[in-house]
Structure formats: C-alpha cells, structure tokens
C-alpha cells in the first residue's frame, strides 16, 4: 500500500497567522474607536444646533428663552418646537445641560454619553 501524506497547516503556520491577525487588530482597533468617538462628537454638535434652532423659534414667539433647567427646556420645546421622538433619542444618547436664569440668554452643552 502506498503511504498517503496528509495535507494541512502546521502548528507553526497557524501561530504565524494568528500573530499577523493580532498585529493588524492592534493597529486597526484604535483607529476605528477614534472614528467612532469623532462621529459621536459630530452628532452631539448637530443635536446642539437642533436644540439651539428650536430655542430661537421659542424666542421669536415669546421674546425670551425658557427659564430654568433641562426639565423646563423639555416642557417649553416639546412638542411645539421639537418632536417627542427627537427629544427621546437625544436624551437617550447624549448628556444635555441647559440653564437660563433670566430668559435673556442661556447655556447649552450636548455631549455623548459614555
């Protein structure tokens, strides 16, 4: 009988492939996570602009900004100037801080949640 030689990968070949994959992942993962963080920041800025536009519409109607904090902001803007669905999406994924003590000006920050 003829002796058949089996074909396959040796342990050394498999270890080399695993090492190459690990090296590629070491380079790729930080790059991808940086892109994800950058995207979250851009979405936060977009949401901040949406809220600011809603605040300007409110100001046009009442000649002042909503006085108070984030809860007062929601009461003033939703649903007339901002949809409930949009508000819920923003609150779910972003930390929104709002304050206005006099209605003449306001402080607003929108940041991605960790």
The answer as to whether 89 is a domain residue is yes
The answer as to whether 16 is a domain residue is no
Q: List the domain range (segments joined by +) for residue 106.
A: 44-114
Question: How many independent structural domains does the chain possess?
Answer: 1
pLDDT band at 98 (very low <50, low <70, confident <90, very high): very high
The answer as to whether 54 is a domain residue is yes
Q: What predicted TM-score, i.e. pTM, was given to this entire model?
A: 0.74
Q: What is the pLDDT of residue 1?
A: 55
CA torsion angle 57 61 67 72 (round to 10): -70
Task: Check: CB of residue 51 under 8 Å from CB of residue 96.
Answer: yes
The answer as to whether 51 is a domain residue is yes
- Residue 103: partners with Cβ closer than 8 Å, 6 or more residues away: 64, 65, 66, 67
- CA 82-106-51 angle, to 5 degrees, is 20
pLDDT at 114 over 90: no
The answer as to whether 32 is a domain residue is no
Q: What is the pLDDT of residue 95?
A: 96
Query: First-to-last CA distance in the chain?
Result: 67
> For the segment 6-57, what is each residue's pLDDT rounded down to a tens digit?
788 899 999 999 999 999 888 888 888 889 999 999 999 999 999 999 999 9
The answer as to whether 111 is a domain residue is yes
pLDDT band at 3 (very low <50, low <70, confident <90, very high): low
pLDDT at 59 over 70: yes
């Amino acid at each position: 009988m003829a002796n058949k030689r089996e074909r396959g990968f040796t342990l050394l070949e498999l270890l080399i492939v695993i090492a190459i994959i690990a090296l590629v992942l070491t380079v790729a993962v930080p790059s991808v996570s940086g892109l994800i963080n950058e995207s979250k920041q851009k979405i936060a800025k977009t949401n901040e602009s949406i809220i600011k536009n809603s605040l300007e519409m409110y100001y046009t109607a009442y000649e002042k900004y909503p006085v108070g904090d984030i809860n007062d902001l929601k009461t003033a803007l939703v649903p007339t100037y901002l949809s409930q669905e949009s508000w819920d999406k923003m609150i779910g994924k972003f930390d929104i801080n709002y304050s206005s003590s006099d209605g003449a000006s306001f402080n607003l920050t929108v940041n991605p949640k960790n």
